[in-house]
Amino acid sequence: MSAVAAFELKAPRDRSGLREQLAGYGFLAPWLIGFFALTLGPALASLYFSMTDYSGMSAPNWVGADNYLRIATDDPRFWTAMNVTFTFVLLSVPLKLLFALAVAVALNKGLRGLSLFRAIFYLPSLVGGSVAIAVLWRQVFAGDGLLNQALNGLFGYEGPSWISNPSYSLYTIVLLAVWQFGSAMIIFLAGLRQIPQDMYEAASIDGAGRSRQFFKITLPLLTPVIFFNAVILTIDAFKAFTSAFVISDGTGGPIDSTLFYTLYLYQEAFINFRFGYASALAWVLVLIIAFFTAMSFLTARFWVHYDD
């Protein structure tokens, strides 16, 4: 998108009078206070905590890299959480992208009722993060829940309790995430509208049929939007919390099958009060997200088409 252009400030640098300096810093003051007190300070503090045994009660003791070593070598629950989170990311993100793209392409055919469909598909993304929907999901996938009632009614099939079965529980949360493909779809729709109509006219004079137009024109021209969506969805998926928390009663169960990374982080910090160790976990997550984002940008030039 045009985010890069937006990152540049246009107006020239200026050494104007004291009045302007004062005005500038005056208007910026709330943000500046917030930046130092709530972002920079905490970031440094958290780096420091991560190398201590801080518990919130007693003063922190310096332990060096011990927390990080323990994460890497001596914490099976960390690896469980990694496993759960990566499974979730690698399943939910591609499925979401696929659904969002497919529905956006279908809606972009100039159908009647576009705005109604768009609203219907968007609604789940708007409410999906709330506790209420997680509660609903628990009901739907419970042993005597809506899904099993429907399965029983339609096929006479007695389904298991999807939520409390460790083989399925994670997939119900994946499904909940995929159910919220709406906002990605809206971004795809906006992207599809950016492709000029005469591109398709030129292609039809060049003899390209529908599928060739899709794969040779639509898809390549949409790659910046696909990339944007993929990066944002991936970051969001790594940070997923509420649904897993509510569905598993905050435990990450059954038997840690829904122990999302953020859930584990929460438990270590606010249940077990291991602030030092949890800070190290937080920085590991930051590094993982940063690594994935950096990798995305590195591979982008091989498949993303940029206009300029």
Tell me how many residues contact other proteins (CB under 8 A). Answer: 118
Binding letters toward other proteins, positions 59-98, x by CB under 8 A = ----------------------------------------
Cα gap 203→94, rounded to integer Å: 29
Per CB under 8 A, the segment of 72-80, 87-95, 212-220, 251-259 that binds other proteins is 212-220
Helix H, strand E, coil C: the string for the chain is CCHHHHCCCCCCCCCCCHHHHHHHHHHHHHHHHHHHHHHHHHHHHHHHHCCECCCCCCCCCECCCHHHHHHHHCCHHHHHHHHHHHHHHHHHHHHHHHHHHHHHHHHCCCCCCHHHHHHHHHHHHHHCCCHHHHHHHHHHCCCCCHHHHHHHHHHCCCCCCCCCCCCCHHHHHHHHHHHCCHHHHHHHHHHHHHCCHHHHHHHHHCCCCHHHHHHHHHHHHHHHHHHHHHHHHHHHHHCCCHHHHHHCCCCCCCCCCCCCHHHHHHHHHHHCCCHHHHHHHHHHHHHHHHHHHHHHHHHHHHHCCCCC
Nearest residue (CB) to other proteins, 18 versus 64: 18
Binding letters toward other proteins, positions 1-40, x by CB under 8 A = x----xx-xxx-xxxx---xx-xxx-xx-xxxxxx-xxx-
Nearest residue (CB) to other proteins, 91 versus 278: 278
Window 274 to 293, contacts with other proteins (CB under 8 A): 275, 278-279, 282-283, 285-286, 289, 293
Cα gap 116→104, rounded to integer Å: 13
**Which residue in the set 64, 198, 211, 302 belongs to the binding site for other proteins (CB under 8 A)?**
198
Nearest residue (CB) to other proteins, 80 versus 242: 242
**Which residue in the set 66, 70, 165, 220 belongs to the binding site for other proteins (CB under 8 A)?**
220
Nearest residue (CB) to other proteins, 79 versus 239: 239
**Which residue in the set 78, 162, 171, 228 belongs to the binding site for other proteins (CB under 8 A)?**
228
Compute the least distance from the CB of residue 170 to other proteins, in Å: 19
Binding letters toward other proteins, positions 137-176, x by CB under 8 A = xxxx-x-x-x--xx--x-----------------------
**Which residue in the set 65, 69, 98, 106 belongs to the binding site for other proteins (CB under 8 A)?**
106
Window 230 to 259, contacts with other proteins (CB under 8 A): 232-233, 235-236, 239, 241-242, 245-246, 249
Neighbours of 16 (CB within 10 A): 10
Does 215 bind other proteins (CB under 8 A)? Our answer is no
